Structure 1
């Protein structure tokens, strides 16, 4: 049975750091550390930042879900602006924005998005190293 952690933060840039902290805490509880944990925290931060910046729904909540099943780890970030879909852009290296999905594309094994009736979800997947210790309670 997979282990899942879900939390919500208000759609405000000051809550991006909360999303980073909660992601790091969940990963630490699962015994996931090092480069993979750093990448996941970074991507959670980027995807939550994208939701905060681009979601046009006032007073929205951004939902973050982490799911660990055997050696597979999935990060999902959802917001209630189902029609504003993510687009991978080719931003200049010195541009202030536009790098979030490029980081997701570079660091995740796979990524994509899906539209629900009232939300959109951007997801990224990772595979733990075969010798990684996955807690037996999962």
Structure 2
């Protein structure tokens, strides 16, 4: 959408994708987010964003399997911040940061989120929960403003 105001920046991009709550949906989510980043000219963010989407989607699928619910992945870029949200319909199983060893097969998800994201949190409502994280990109913000 083009702005009708000549000095206003149109720097907000967002897309959502709904997945079936099955493990084969995880690589589909990675491919989808990779395409969004490429389309938006944010290819440099692929590695951390793919890790974040993988971890958040894996946990959502694990908890969304009851009742045939879906998982929704939202990616939004605005004003130099990339936000990732993953929504499922399980308001009870909230993310918990665990102590984990490097050899463990699970339990490192939130450690990965904390490593790559500048912020993360969870929001719960009557329809389920949303786990979100944000990456600040000051160099991208400067390029968009010029």
TM-score by length of structure 2 reads 0.85
Q: More displaced, 107-116 or 125-134?
A: 125-134
Q: 2:100 aligns with which of 79, 85, 91?
A: 91
Structure 2: distance between partners of 1:116 and 1:20: 26
- 1:81-126 per-residue CA deviation (whole Å, 9 max, x = no partner) reads 0111111111111111111111001110010100021110000001
SS at match of 1:41: helix
Asked if residue 61 in structure 1 is aligned to residue 70 in structure 2, the reply is yes
Cα distance, 1:57 vs structure 2: 2.1
Given candidates 43, 48, 62, the residue that maps to 2:52 is: 43
Task: Give SS of 1:112's match.
Answer: strand
Shift of residue 43 of structure 1? 0.7
Structure with more helix by fraction: 2
Which of these residues, 110, 117, 133, is aligned with residue 108 of structure 1? 117
Alignment of 1:62-81 (within 5 A): 62-81=71-90
Q: CA deviation at 1:130?
A: 2.1
* Separation in 2, partners of 1:56, 1:33: 32
Unaligned runs of 5+ in 2: 1-9
Number of residues paired by the alignment? 135
When Rg is computed on C-alpha atoms for both structures, the one with the higher figure is: 2
- 2:24 maps to 1:10: no
Query: What TM-score, normalized by structure 1, do the two folds share?
Result: 0.90
Q: Deviations over 1:20-77 (max 9, x none)?
A: 000111111110012x221011110111011112335232211000111120110000
**Cα RMSD, aligned residues only:** 1.8
The runs of 5 or more residues in structure 1 that have no matched partner are: none
Q: Aligned equivalents of 1:46 and 1:97: distance in 2?
A: 10
1:117 aligns with 2:123: no
